[in-house]
Amino acid sequence: MPFWRTYYHLVWTTKKREALIRPEIESRLYGYLESKARELGVHVYAIGGWTDHVHLVVAIPPRLSVAEVVKGLKGASTFHMNHGPAQDAHFAWQRGYGVLSLGEKQRPVAEAYVRQQKEHHSRQSTNSWLERTDETDDGPACMDHPINHSITRVGATLDGKDVAPAKEQESWP
């Protein structure tokens, strides 16, 4: 058995961002996602969201990939919401998701953010990093470019023109 502390923040949206997560089905959906996660061996620290998306803070064991966990949770919950006792035949998730890895210090921050989703979305105090999802594979740019690529270019000239320093990106702590 390996030693592991592999925490992630996951987020994905409803199909076409429709307001499908109505108050009357929210607890059933969250409860199902939590039980399905447990069945997969994934620990859920927090779950929350808005009418058109869901966030989870989880620990995914190393034997599982993030992609298969998300696929399992999305697929099973779609089926459950469309075939369960109070069925909602129109429930569907959008393709894609967002995932951020979390360290021990970030995990409680992400947990609080997820639990306070209603407040964040109604007050528009959301964190763009934690809200981001994508249908395409959009990884960090440093996978293609050396990390010092942009640094060496700052202040250099390109076609005789000064290159402005890269704008500081909003960051996830």
Which of these ranges, 68-76, 126-134, 138-146, 162-170, lies near Zn ion under the rule CB under 5 A? 126-134
Minimum Å gap between C-beta 126 and Zn ion is 6
Residue 158 CB, nearest distance to Zn ion (Å)? 38
Task: Kindly state the smallest distance separating residue 88's Cβ from Zn ion, in Å.
Answer: 21
**Residue number with CB closer to Zn ion (23 or 160):** 23
The number of beta carbons lying within 10 Å of the beta carbon of residue 33 is 22
Binding window for Zn ion (CB under 5 A); candidates: 95-103, 127-135, 136-144, 159-167 = 127-135
* Closest CB to Zn ion among residues 116, 150: 116
Q: Which is nearer to Zn ion, 78 or 116 (CB)?
A: 116
| Pairwise CA distance, residues 62 & 17, whole Å | 31
The Cβ of residue 142 has, within 10 Å, a number of other Cβ atoms equal to: 11
- State in angstroms the smallest separation of the CB of 107 from Zn ion: 17
Interactions with Zn ion, residue window 128-157 (CB under 5 A): 131
Residues engaged in binding Zn ion (CB under 5 A) = 131
